[in-house]
Chains A and B, each alone.
Chain A
Amino acid sequence: MHLVYPVVVAALLFSAGVYGVLARRNAILVLMSAELMLNAVNLNLVAFDVWLRDRLHGGQVLTLFTIVIAAAEVGLGLAIVLLVFRNRETIDIDSLQTLQESREGE
Chain B
Amino acid sequence: MTTLDVVFVLLGVVAVGAAVLVVTTRQLVHAALWLVVSFGALAGGYLMLTAEFVAWVQVLIYVGAVVVLLLFGIMLTRAPIGRSADLDSGNRWAALAVALATAGVLVTVLVRGFRTAYAPLDVAGQGAAKPLGESVFRIWVLPFEVLSVLLLAALVGAIVLSRREI
Contacts and interface: CB of A to CB of B under 8 A. Distances in A.
Interface string B22-45: 110000100110010011001001
B163 to A, nearest CB: 10
Interface string A22-41: 11111011011101100100
Nearest to B43: A39
Given A15-B100, A35-B35, A82-B76, A65 B22 contact: no
Contacts of A17: 19, 23
Contact of B87 (A1, A29, A78, A82): A29
B110 interface: yes
A12 B100 CA distance: 9
A16 B23 contact: yes
B81 interface: no
Nearest to B84: A26
B7 to A, nearest CB: 10
Interface in B148-162: 150-151, 154-155, 157-158, 161-162
> How many of chain B's residues touch chain A, expressed as a range?
35 or more
A19 B126 contact: no
Per DSSP, chain A at the interface is: helix
Interface string B48-70: 11110110011001100110011
A8 to B, nearest CB: 6
B66 A22 contact: no
Interface residues of A, number: 69
Q: Which 5 A-B pairs have the closest CB atoms?
A: A22-B95, A20-B23, A19-B99, A9-B12, A15-B103
Interface of B: 1-2, 4-5, 8-9, 12, 15-16, 19-20, 22-23, 28, 31-32, 35, 38-39, 42, 45-46, 48-51, 53-54, 57-58, 61-62, 65-66, 69-70, 72-74, 76-77, 79, 86-92, 94-96, 98-100, 102-103, 106-107, 110-111, 114-115, 117-119, 121, 123, 126-127, 131-132, 135-136, 139-140, 143-144, 147, 150-151, 154-155, 157-158, 161-162
Given A11-B103, A18-B102, 10 more contacts: A4-B114, A18-B99, A19-B99, A22-B94, A31-B73, A32-B22, A33-B22, A57-B127, A71-B65, A83-B162
Interface of A: 1-9, 11-20, 22-26, 28-29, 31-33, 35-36, 39, 42-43, 46-47, 49-51, 53, 56-58, 60-61, 63-65, 67-76, 78-83, 85, 91-94
